[in-house]
Amino acid sequence: MFIRAQQIGTLEFALARTSQRHFAGTLDPAGSAAQGGAVAAGAAGTDFGRMLIDSLGTVNAQQQTADALSVQAVIDPDSVNVHDVSIAAAKANMSLSITKSIVDRVVQAYREIQNVR
């Protein structure tokens, strides 16, 4: 798929979904994909932003769950299973580590793009 000069001026063009595994943007509240697999750039950006915020919220929730279980284990050790505390801490640690790696890669890519200029 090539971009025509007329499309560059508007900064909007359709993206074709070439595989069912690709993230499908939605144009309507019912959640159906655009006709022919094409997704408008604005709708895809909104969905990506929502997905990013939801993912960060999940990481935050896992951190809070691990903290709450740790505090509960100190205050009332009989009310919580030690395995649950360690599993929650491991999940929170792994999700935070993955998030940090992704942020580092994005910053690295941004710096590479700046150096290309």
Give the per-residue pLDDT at 89. Answer: 95
Nearest-angstrom CA–CA distance, 28 and 24: 12
- 7-11, 47-51, 70-74, 85-89: least confident range: 7-11
- Beta-sheet strands, E only, within 1-117: 15-16, 38-39
Can you read off the two tokens belonging to residue 88? 């929650």
* Greatest C-alpha distance within the chain: 68
Q: Could you tell me which residues are beta bridge partners of residue 14?
A: none
Dihedrals phi, psi of 62, to nearest 5 degrees: -65, -40
CB contact at 8 A, 92 and 62: yes
Q: What pLDDT, on a 0 to 100 scale, did the predictor assign at position 7?
A: 55
Look up the domain containing 23 and give its range: 5-116
Give the single-character DSSP code of 2: -
Domain count within the chain: 1
